[in-house]
């Protein structure tokens, strides 16, 4: 009985939160935006996808594409939010026209399906289509996935024995 009462009380809260709109006040890069939530800035990391980093080819294109679609506009967030280790909200962003920003980035060749953190195969299908049509980053002969690019940057920034010896 308590469980049913709890669910009945929780249902309107869930229903209300699904219809709430938030203004996009910043686009940090292709897969990270900032919204105004309850009067405070909140960083949102787009779930299911990974866009090229700003210093990678197509990184600025991905940021511009996302910005063109959502900056300064009201958007809705998918339900079931979680936060990542950087305290960013993980969500899909639904634009005022009903389109999903996360999927639009993949569909237009500005993001990879981030399979490590997503089991949603619709993103995989969108990526395959964009690759086939050679859209966005898929015009590059051998694009580097952002997670590989980040990993290679970490390796190159670690001090080696020779660089340690030179600094002494």
- Residues known to be catalytic: 45, 53, 88
Residue pair 55/146 in contact by the 8 Å Cβ criterion: no
The neighbour count for residue 128, using CB atoms within 10 Å, is 12
Name the residue among 75, 129, 132, 117 with its Cα closest to residue 100: 75
The backbone torsions φ and ψ at residue 55, rounded to the nearest 5 degrees and listed phi first, read: -85, 0
For the chain, strand residue ranges (E) read 22-29, 32-37, 40-46, 49-50, 74-77, 82-83, 89-91, 93-94, 112-113
């Amino acid at each position: 009985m308590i469980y049913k009462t709890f669910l009945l009380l929780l249902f309107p809260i869930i229903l209300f939160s699904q219809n709430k709109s938030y203004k996009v006040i910043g686009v940090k890069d292709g897969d990270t935006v900032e919204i105004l939530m309850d009067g405070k800035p909140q960083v949102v990391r787009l779930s299911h996808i990974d866009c090229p980093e700003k210093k990678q080819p197509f990184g600025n294109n991905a940021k511009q594409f996302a910005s063109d679609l959502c900056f300064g506009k009201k958007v809705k967030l998918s339900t079931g939010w979680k936060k990542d280790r950087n305290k960013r909200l993980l969500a899909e962003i639904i634009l005022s026209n009903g389109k999903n920003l996360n999927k639009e980035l993949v569909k237009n060749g500005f993001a990879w399906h981030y399979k490590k953190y997503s089991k949603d195969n619709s993103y995989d299908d969108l990526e395959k289509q964009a690759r086939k049509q050679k859209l966005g980053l898929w015009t590059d002969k051998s694009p580097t996935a952002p997670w590989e690019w980040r990993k290679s940057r970490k390796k190159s920034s670690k001090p080696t024995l020779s660089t340690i010896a030179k600094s002494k």
